[in-house]
Amino acid sequence: MPSEVCGIPIEKTTLSSVLPEGRELKEEHDPLGWTEARCDIYVDKYHALDVVIKPADRSPSAQELSELTSQFTAREKLTDFPFAGHSVVGDQGALVVAECNSIAPYVTLNIKIDSERLNGGDGSVEGVRKFVEEFVPGVRDEIGCAQ
């Protein structure tokens, strides 16, 4: 397991909770900054993790959040993350709208996980939550969001 995702440091145990076991891992990512950035991780040539990070002028409404996360099973709206904003987490990914106040008022992260291929990972809401708790503050720091 790598020690970072999309250029953001992350614990290997955290990453293993959202990636399947495999022999070959490949990452492709755009630099983080003022425009949309995409990060894709492939495990044994299967698309295992997809992250889209982009600045946003506004936070989505409750109805928009619900529509955007309707594909997640076992979804939970979570409010006790170490950053201000909105988060909906499920066993197939997460949608995070974090306050930023630098490049834009908000930064959104749409995280999709191939939970069907998780052999070594736990493929659970808790695994995705753990990833979000560690990854999002790193993204906010990297793009200069106000604390």
* pTM, full prediction: 0.84
Q: Where are the domains of the chain?
A: 4-142
The three state secondary structure string of the chain is CCCEECCEECCHHHHHCCCCCCCCEEEEECCCCCCCEEEEEEECCEEEEEEEEEEECCCCCHHHHHHHCCCCCCCEEECCCCCCEEEEEECCEEEEEEECCCCCCEEEEEEEECHHHCCCCCCCHHHHHHHHHHHHHHHHHHCCCCC
84-114 pLDDT, tens digit each = 777 888 878 888 888 888 778 888 899 998 8
Higher pLDDT, 18 or 2: 18
